[in-house]
Amino acid sequence: MSVSDVGTAPTGRKPKLAELVVDTLRKRIGTGEYDTGSKLPTESQMTKIFGVSRTVVREAIAALAADGIVEARQGAGVFVIARGGMRAIDSGNRISDAINVLEVRMGIEIESAGLAAQRRTNSQDAAIHEAFHEFDRLLERDEPTGKADFNLHHAIAAATSNPFYVEVLNALGTRAIPCDVQSPWRIETVLSREYQRSVQAEHWLIVSAISEQDIEAARRAMRRHLVRSQELYRQRLREGGPPPDLSQQDYP
């Protein structure tokens, strides 16, 4: 895809090629095509992808680096450090850090679920369902579901039509999802298919409430989903051993 295929010029001004490259890379980073922590194509590869010169590519990368979205590492390449305008958060690797991140997510995502139920458009509702079914597809194929899990929560945040919900979630990144194999807090229980099926059942309650535009039901379902994950880690922290089976436990 060349830069002529993407972006639109602001009124009265033809955009620079570097601006079009920046716009395309932002979109690809925002959708997770280039996820947090991943390496971007090389400078040479991007000249071919976008049909531009090395100078244009360098200018685009410099602009993204200035915004805290990518980082050039000498001898290694250019890496994505955030999926939006907010720099990625280094959350730490302790179980207590996982609990803290889930606490932050509760403060954000319970309300985002309610707003999504109130404001979602038909296309946003469809995007939420698509992310839900992608989780199902990966689960049935016994493939990692962490990215699909994050994309579902991301689609819900997007359905609030408030970009700051999306930015905060992007800053936390996929490592905030316990069932992501790349999460520093992954434990055997949350990577099991049995546990992830129960997670998907919780997801369905959230998705259904948003689709039906039931604001309070969406908030309750999201609260239950996140509290359950938090309690699982709290139990692990208290006992220092395998966490209990919380599949039958209910939350307000």
Reported as a pLDDT band with limits 50, 70 and 90, residue 10 is: very low
CATH topology for 3-80? Answer: Arc Repressor Mutant, subunit A (1.10.10)
Residues of the chain with CATH 1.20.120.530: 95-239
**pLDDT surpasses 60 at 137:** yes
Residues of the chain with CATH 1.10.10.10: 3-80
Give the 3-state secondary structure of 124-170.
HHHHHHHHHHHHHHHHHCCCCCHHHHHHHHHHHHHCCCCHHHHHHHH
State the Rg of the chain over Cα. Answer: 20
CATH topology for 95-239? Answer: Four Helix Bundle (Hemerythrin (Met), subunit A) (1.20.120)
Instruction: Tell me the sheet residues that pair with 71.
Output: 79
The whole-number average pLDDT for the span 122-151 is: 91
C-beta separation of 135 from 155 below 8 A: no
Reported as a pLDDT band with limits 50, 70 and 90, residue 115 is: very high
Predicted local distance difference test score (pLDDT) of residue 55: 94
The whole-number average pLDDT for the span 3-27 is: 68
The reported pTM is: 0.62
Mean pLDDT, all residues of the chain: 80
Reported as a pLDDT band with limits 50, 70 and 90, residue 191 is: low
Q: Averaging pLDDT over each range in 28-37, 101-110, 243-252, which range is the top one?
A: 101-110
C-beta separation of 175 from 184 below 8 A: yes
Predicted local distance difference test score (pLDDT) of residue 190: 55
**pLDDT surpasses 70 at 183:** no
| 149 or 240: which leads in pLDDT | 149
User: pLDDT tens digits for 18-71?
Assistant: 889 988 898 888 777 888 788 999 999 999 999 999 999 999 999 888 777 888
Q: Which pair of tokens denotes residue 210?
A: 């948003």
C-beta separation of 128 from 113 below 8 A: no
User: pLDDT tens digits for 143-180?
Assistant: 888 888 988 999 999 999 998 888 888 777 766 676 55
